[in-house]
Amino acid sequence: MNSKIVDVTEVQIYLTELLSLVQQGTEIVISQENKPQARLMPLVLPKNSLPPRIPGLHAGAGWMSDDFDESLEGF
């Protein structure tokens, strides 16, 4: 990933252009008085994230046998 250091005054003027660079993969380090203060980098979202869970969506679809909690001795 490429990196670029930009003074805070330039960020205020060129924010749209800096965001375009970030979308292309450039990391922007924002400095103030030649001291790094923050980093602007692409937001990475998971591509195959699962949909949110919905409580009660399959209510009543499962069951449990009556002897579920019985001992397994003898097997």
CATH number for 8 = 3.40.1620
Range of the structural domain that residue 18 is part of: 3-40
Q: Look at residue 61 and tell me if it is in a domain.
A: no
Q: Look at residue 63 and tell me if it is in a domain.
A: no
Q: Look at residue 75 and tell me if it is in a domain.
A: no
pLDDT digit string (tens) for the chain, length 75 residues = 788 888 888 888 888 899 999 989 899 999 999 999 999 988 877 777 778 889 999 998 988 888 888 888 876
Report the b/e string of 30-44 with b at 16+ CB within 10 A.
Answer: beeeeeeeeebeeee
**In which residue are the tokens 């009543």 written?**
60
When divided into structural domains, the chain yields a total of 1
pTM summary value: 0.53
Q: Where are the extended beta strands (E) located within the chain?
A: 3-7, 27-32, 35-40
